């Protein structure tokens, strides 16, 4: 079975989309080829996003902030937007068959002590994992049902 190409989009491509990309690869790397990008890339991956995913053994240290235009000519099967702004400006990609929007608070705007900011990043990470786990489980079930029909 060919892995489905998934593009996770947010505005800055510095936190949420990278966390979702890393988590989706971890949970469903056998099913998905996963990328992330932004409509207005920040130019960096937030260090706290890297830190809180590393707590789970997911390495984002080699990720880079990318513009969605890098993927315009690719056959993307599914686009997942993780912020409202990206959902509004999301283009259609060649071959795209699915689009999902799951909005999460932007932890890059968290204020307070380092521990308060870290707690916000962890909360968003945990929320993203819960949604991605449900998505992967549903996808696996659909693949299994399709296989039974053959």
Contacts of 51 (CB under 8 A, 6+ apart): 118, 121
Name beta bridge partners: 35: 7
Distance CA 104, CA 145 (A): 31
Residue carrying structure tokens 């890098």 = 70
**Which among 76, 83, 86, 124 is annotated as catalytic?**
83
Known catalytic membership, residue 120? no
Known catalytic membership, residue 15? no
**Which among 19, 49, 52, 90 is annotated as catalytic?**
90
**Which among 10, 34, 76, 79 is annotated as catalytic?**
10
- What residues are annotated to the active site? 10, 83, 90
């Amino acid at each position: 079975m060919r892995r489905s190409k998934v593009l996770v989009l947010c505005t800055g491509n510095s936190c949420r989309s990278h966390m979702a990309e890393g988590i989706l690869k971890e949970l469903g790397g056998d099913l998905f080829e996963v990328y992330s990008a932004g409509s207005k890339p920040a130019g960096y991956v937030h260090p706290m996003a890297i830190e809180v995913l590393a707590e789970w053994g997911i390495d984002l240290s080699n990720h880079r902030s990318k513009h969605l235009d890098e993927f315009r000519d690719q056959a993307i099967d599914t686009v997942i937007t993780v912020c409202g702004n990206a959902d509004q400006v999301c283009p259609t990609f060649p071959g795209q068959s699915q689009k999902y929007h799951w909005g999460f608070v932007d932890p890059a705007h968290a204020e307070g002590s380092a521990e308060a900011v870290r707690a916000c990043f962890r909360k968003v990470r945990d929320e993203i994992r819960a949604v991605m786990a449900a998505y992967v489980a549903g996808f696996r079930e659909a693949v299994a049902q399709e296989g039974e029909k053959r």
